[in-house]
Amino acid sequence: MKEDVQVRIAGIAGDGSFITGEVLASILKKIGYYVVTVKDFPSNIRGLPSNYTVRGSSKPVYGRNDYDDFLIAFDIPSIKTHLRDLKEGSVCIYDSRDGKELSDDLKKEGVFYVPLPLREIARKELGLELIKNMVAVGVLSEIFGVDEEITDRVILENFKRKGEKVVELNKKAVLRGRELVRENHGRFPEFKLKKYNDPGRILAMGNDFVSMGAIAGGCRFLAAYPITPSSEILEFLSKEMKKFGGAAIQAEDEISSINMAIGASIAGLRAMVASSGPGVALKTEGLSYAGMTETPIVIYYAMRVGPSTGLPTKTSQEDLLYIIFAGHGEFPRLILMPATPDELFYLTVEAFNFAEEFQIPVIILTDQFLAQNKFTIDKEKIDPKKVEIRRGKIVLNGNDVPRNNGFLLRYKIEEDGISPRIIPGIKEGVFGTTGYEHDEAGYGTEDEDNRVSMVKKRMSKIKHLIKRVPPPVLYEKKNAKIGIISAGSTFGPIMETIERLEKDGISVSFLRIVTLWPFPEDEVRKFVEDKEKIFIVEQNYKGQLRFLVENAIIDIHKNKIRGITKFSGRPFKPLEIEEKIREELK
Partner 1 sequence: MSEILSEVKVRTPKDYEGYKKPTWCPGCGDFSILSSLKKVAAEIGLDPFKTVVVSGIGCSGKSYAFFYANGVHTLHGRVLPVATGIKLGNPELFVIALSGDGDALAIGGNHFIHTARRNVDIKLIIMNNQIYGLTKGQFSPTSNHGFVTVSSPYGSVEFPVDPVVLALASGASFVARAFSGEPNSLTEIIKEAFLHKGFSVIDVLSPCVTYNKVNTYDWYRENIEFLPNDHDKENLTEAFTYATSFKGKIPLGIFYKKERPTYEELILDSSNPCREDLYCGRERVYELIETFSK
Complete DSSP assignment for 291-329: HHHT--EEEEEEE-B-STT-BTTS---TTHHHHHH-SSS
Cβ contacts of 29 within 8 Å, gap of 6 or more: 35, 56, 198, 201, 203, 376
Least CB distance to partner 1 at residue 177 (A): 23
Q: Which is nearer to partner 1, 96 or 434 (CB)?
A: 434
CB 207 within 8 A of CB 236: yes
Q: Which is nearer to partner 1, 13 or 394 (CB)?
A: 394
Instruction: Check residue 202 for interaction with partner 1 (CB under 8 A).
Output: yes
Instruction: Check residue 329 for interaction with partner 1 (CB under 8 A).
Output: no
Instruction: Check residue 552 for interaction with partner 1 (CB under 8 A).
Output: no
Instruction: Check residue 256 for interaction with partner 1 (CB under 8 A).
Output: yes
Residues 137-166 interacting with partner 1 (rule: CB under 8 A):
157
Among 1, 89, 100, 436, binds partner 1 (CB under 8 A): 436
Instruction: Check residue 208 for interaction with partner 1 (CB under 8 A).
Output: yes
Least CB distance to partner 1 at residue 252 (A): 4
Q: Which is nearer to partner 1, 283 or 580 (CB)?
A: 283
Among 10, 173, 180, 264, binds partner 1 (CB under 8 A): 264
> What is d(CA 571, CA 370) in angstroms, rounded to the nearest whole number?
10
Instruction: Check residue 427 for interaction with partner 1 (CB under 8 A).
Output: yes
Residues 333-352 interacting with partner 1 (rule: CB under 8 A):
none
Among 83, 106, 255, 575, binds partner 1 (CB under 8 A): 255
Instruction: Check residue 384 for interaction with partner 1 (CB under 8 A).
Output: yes
Complete DSSP assignment for 323-367: HHH-SSS----EEE---SHHHHHHHHHHHHHHHHHHTSEEEEEEE
Q: Which stretch binds partner 1 (CB under 8 A): 181-189, 196-204, 473-481, 570-578?
A: 196-204
> Is residue 504 packed enough to be buried (19+ CB in 10 Å), middle (13-18) or exposed (0-12)?
exposed
Q: Report the length, in residues, of the chain.
A: 586
Q: Which is nearer to partner 1, 5 or 266 (CB)?
A: 266
Least CB distance to partner 1 at residue 265 (A): 7
> What is d(CA 62, CA 43) in angstroms, rounded to the nearest whole number?
24
Instruction: Check residue 476 for interaction with partner 1 (CB under 8 A).
Output: no
End-to-end CA distance of the chain: 35
Q: Which is nearer to partner 1, 85 or 208 (CB)?
A: 208
Spatial CA neighbour of 316 closest among 495, 544, 110, 117: 544
CB 65 within 8 A of CB 56: no
| Partners of 358 in the β-ladder | none
Least CB distance to partner 1 at residue 22 (A): 13
Among 405, 415, 555, 559, binds partner 1 (CB under 8 A): 405
Spatial CA neighbour of 75 closest among 11, 139, 15, 21: 11
Residues 212-251 interacting with partner 1 (rule: CB under 8 A):
212, 215-221, 223, 240, 242-247, 249, 251
User: At residue 389, what is the residue type?
Assistant: I
Q: Which is nearer to partner 1, 237 or 337 (CB)?
A: 237
Residues 276-295 interacting with partner 1 (rule: CB under 8 A):
285-286, 289
